[in-house]
Amino acid sequence: MFQNKMFSPKNFMSVIFIGLILTGCFAVTKEDKHPKSGSVQFGAKNPPVINTSPELASFKTIFADVAEKVIPVVVSITSTQIDTIYQRQNQNPYDFFGFGFPFGEQQQQQRGQQQQKPQPKERRQSGVGSGVIVSSDGYILTNSHVVKDANEIKITLHDDREYPAKIIGFDTLSDVAVVKITENVKDLPIAYLGNSDKLRPGDWVMAVGNPFNLSSTVTTGIVSALGRHTGGEMYQNFIQTDAAINPGNSGGALVNIDGELVGINTMIYTRSGGYMGIGFAIPISMAKNIMEQLIYTGEVKRGWLGISIGNLDQNMMDALGLNEKGVLINEVFENEPAKKAGIQSGDVVISIDGKKTPNPNELRNVVASLIAGKKYTIEIIRDGKKRQMVVVPAVRGANGEIATIDEKGDVVKEKQTFGMTLKEGGEGKLEVAKVEANKTASNAGIRVGDVVLAVKTASDKPFVEVSKVEGFNKEISQAKGQSVVLRLERNGQKFFVSLKLEK
């Protein structure tokens, strides 16, 4: 009876009816989870009303407008250094399993000798930096440290076109270099060279380059400071900026709000290896001067006065009764331009050619820009009184060599100093003040502090004693052979060194 009642037609229809109701409920519930397409309005109907001045309205697109013009003139520079390394061949694979060599003893010895001989292998190391196109036929301005050791250089434009390039010249003391596309190109986009002397702290600037190989990257910021010097013997007058600069930006463009090139991005201050808010760029006024010398003459000539200088702290200024910043002259070298002009040790230089010299870095940069043989007014303070004198600078080369000026005012170029700088020390000694790594002098074992006693410039000529830089330069300039011999003294011991002349 129970089963008949359970499955009666009446009960069966009831079950079906309840099932249909439940199914319908679930269907409705599922449909309610997703509103009908277009039934929801997203976002406000009207934009926010903000009272924007006409000046600010035009400022909205200024950075995009500048970037659009500047990006095409900035290139990616891939510099590749090629070395030859020697590696031994792989050992006998059978020895690894303890089976020995599977051939005869004689063959085994021959194979062993071949394995012991190192085999040459080419090693290629590449780095990526940036550069700025400065002429329609492919001259590119960049940093010395980006390209100076490269055996191959590849230029990639913003539109991914690639060209080989060669080094025109580089100057490590300012970190400026020039490369040129070797293919016949024309009508390349060119940067407009602005006036970095007009920059002020707070001016808007934009940095364009290829940080971490991310091409055509644009960052913005302001000029944080001017005339920065990070130390060392380099000629520096950096623009400091907080526009983000990272590895790969070196050699790229720093432009002002008008899109004018005002600097070449060079280095960053960082403790992490990346951006920390402080970047440095070479002012275009300095970079342009060096660029033109490298292109037109192949070398950089800097002014030379023949003085050693020191900084003035407040105590020294008070002791000297100074109310104006300047640079103290520690020493005036004999027979050099400053000595001939009447400048004395203890004088304070406050300007040269109308340009203020408030610190040693500024004076160094001003003197470097002077033209040899030309007359300049130098303003000093001596015994509390201002004086003006006329000085005719000589030439100081990139490696410290000095060239003199003849009676007609023409530059008389001296021979090498072999990558070393000499100074006239006490007791009439000619001392080695600086030795550059991997140059002729350092390779010959010459050290800082060595005393040059005499020079022999030919096999049929005797040793000539020297105690002045001028005398040393004169002897070297008259050398006609392939090498010269120096007689040196170190810690009381005398010895000889032969140096090959570079023609």
- Establish whether 158 is a catalytic residue: no
Nearest to 450 by CA among 401, 483, 492: 492
Give the number of other CB atoms < 10 A from CB of residue 383. 9
Among 440, 433, 398, which Cα is nearest to 419's? 440
**Beta-carbon neighbour count of residue 328 at 10 Å?**
21
Cα-based angle 287, 291, 294 (whole degrees, multiple of 5) = 140
**Which residues, including other chains, have CB under 8 Å from residue 94's CB and lie 6 or more apart?**
100, 101, 102
The answer to whether 460 is a known catalytic residue is: no
Q: Which of 175, 242, 347, 450 is catalytic?
A: 175
250 catalytic per annotation? yes
Taking every pair of Cα atoms in the chain, the longest distance, rounded to a whole number of angstroms, is 142
Among 79, 130, 145, 174, the active-site one is 145
* Environment class of 6 (CB within 10 Å of its CB; exposed 0-12, middle 13-18, buried 19+): exposed
φ, ψ of residue 149 in degrees (nearest 5): -100, 10
Instruction: Please list, residue by residue across 187-225, b when 16 or more beta carbons sit within 10 angstroms of its beta carbon and e when fewer do.
Output: ebbbbebbebeebeeeebbbbbbbbeeebbbbbbbebbe
Alpha helix (H) residue ranges in 277-387: 284-296, 314-320, 337-340, 360-368
Task: Encode 230-253 in three state secondary structure.
Answer: CCCCCCCCEEEECCCCCCCCCCCE
Residues 314 and 345 sit within 8 Å (Cβ to Cβ): no
Residue 256 and residue 204 in contact, taking contact as beta carbons nearer than 8 Å: yes
Name the active-site residue from 250, 347, 351, 450. 250
Neighbours of 240 (CB within 10 A): 18
- How many C-beta atoms lie closer than 10 Å to residue 429's C-beta? 13
Work out the burial of residue 373: count CB atoms within 10 Å of its CB; fewer than 13 is exposed, 13-18 middle, 19 or more buried. Answer: middle
Question: What positions carry a catalytic annotation?
Answer: 145, 175, 250
